[in-house]
């Protein structure tokens, strides 16, 4: 019963469309009608700029983190990584935005922040370095997800290993079109770093 309750809460948290809210409230723009149309931080950076992109990134991270921390407030006997997965599902398929959301990268990172801050710091640094080198957000996201698995294995945390593998597989799935564009050299590179 607790898994159902906290899973629903996490899903609803994840469903909050940060990019849509920031676009409409701060810029009077429906971001779904611009750029890639994606409700994620990357499209926000491209369409609305760095300030809006940073706000959306932080908000999306917090969705995952809060979802993993809420059970602690109630001393619930649930595996918090599993609850966090519901937030990722909500972010990707949000009930508040016609089930068309982001690609789960920031919210996945938020789950890790709520469970293992050290791993979070490692993946953030990995993402920044790979992004600086490649200029591809999608490629950096995928590389970072693999690094998360490797570090989880080093930490010998079985639950974390399983969840990072699931998240990495989902990140690769959500970026399948990006991989094709990278191969065809049509994937846009960032210009702000």
Could you report the per-residue pLDDT of 78-96, keeping only the tens digit for each?
A: 999 999 999 999 999 999 9
At residue 162, the pLDDT reads 96
Could you report the per-residue pLDDT of 33-81, keeping only the tens digit for each?
A: 998 888 999 999 999 999 999 999 999 999 999 999 999 999 999 999 9
CA angle 6, 7, 9 (to 5 degrees): 60
CA angle 98, 100, 101 (to 5 degrees): 125
Average pLDDT over residues 112-125: 97
- pTM > 0.85: yes
Q: How confident is the model at residue 6 (pLDDT cuts 50, 70, 90)?
A: very high
**186 Cβ contact partners less than 8 Å away, ≥ 6 residues apart:** none
Residue 183: how many other CB atoms lie within 10 Å: 9
**Number of Cα atoms under 13 Å in the Cβ half of residue 34:** 18
């Amino acid at each position: 019963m607790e898994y159902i309750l906290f899973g629903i809460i996490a899903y609803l948290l994840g469903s909050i469309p940060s990019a849509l809210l920031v676009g409409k409230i701060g810029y009077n723009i429906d971001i779904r009608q611009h750029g890639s149309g994606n409700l994620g931080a990357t499209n926000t950076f491209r369409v609305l700029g760095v300030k809006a992109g940073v706000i959306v990134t932080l908000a999306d991270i917090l969705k995952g983190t809060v979802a993993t921390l809420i059970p602690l407030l109630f001393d619930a006997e649930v595996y918090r990584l599993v609850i966090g997965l519901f937030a990722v599902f909500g972010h990707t398929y949000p009930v508040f935005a016609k089930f068309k959301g982001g690609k789960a990268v920031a919210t996945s990172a938020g789950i890790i922040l709520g469970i293992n801050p050290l791993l979070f710091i490692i993946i953030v640094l990995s993402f920044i370095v790979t992004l600086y080198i490649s200029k591809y957000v999608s490629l950096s996201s995928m590389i970072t997800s693999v690094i998360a698995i490797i570090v989880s294995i080093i930490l010998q945390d079985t639950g974390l290993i399983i969840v990072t593998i699931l998240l990495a597989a989902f990140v690769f799935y959500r970026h399948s079109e990006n991989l094709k564009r990278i191969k065809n050299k049509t994937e846009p590179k960032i210009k702000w770093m």
